[in-house]
Amino acid sequence: MSKSIETFETLWEYCTSNNRLCPQYNIWQVLFKMLKNTDNLHGHGGDREPADPYIIYNNWEHIMPIELQFQFERYLEWASDNAQLDEIGKYLRSLTEVDWVHYGEK
C-alpha cells in the first residue's frame, strides 16, 4: 500500500470543501509557528508570503471573507514552497469542523 502524498491541490481542495472559508483566527498563530523560514518576512503577506497572524487577528472583523481565504491560501503556498505540505496538511486535517470559518459565518 502506497502512502498518499499531499499536494497543494489536494490540501486546498480539502480546506475549501464543506463550504470552508479559512481556519478560525486562533488557528492562524499555531499554523504560522509551524511554517519554516518566516523570520525575515515583512508581515503583511507579500507575494506568496504568509501574513503575520497578529495582523489577521487584530483586523479579523474588518477583513473581507475573500481576503481571509486569499491570505490562508498564501500560508499553504508557503508550506508548499518549503516542502511542508504533509506536515501542515496533517495538522489542518486534524481540526474539527468548529475550528473552521464557513462562508456565511463571517
| Predicted TM-score (pTM) of this structure | 0.89
Domain coverage including residue 75: 8-102
Residue 104 burial by Cβ neighbours in a 10 Å radius (0-12, 13-18, 19+): exposed
Q: Is residue 2 part of a domain?
A: no
Residue at 58 is within a domain: yes
Q: Tell me what pLDDT residue 106 has.
A: 74
Give domain status of residue 92, yes or no: yes
* Segments in the chain below pLDDT 50: 1
Residue 13 lies inside a defined structural domain of this protein: yes
Domain count, the chain: 1
Residue 95 lies in a domain: yes
Predicted local confidence at residue 1, as pLDDT: 47
Does residue 33 fall inside a structural domain? yes
Q: Tell whether 80 is covered by a domain.
A: yes
In the block, residue with C-alpha cell 506536515: 87
What pLDDT does 86 receive? 97
102: β partners: 20
Task: Give a yes or no: residue 3 inside a domain.
Answer: no
CA distance 103 to 70: 13
The pLDDT of residue 48: 73
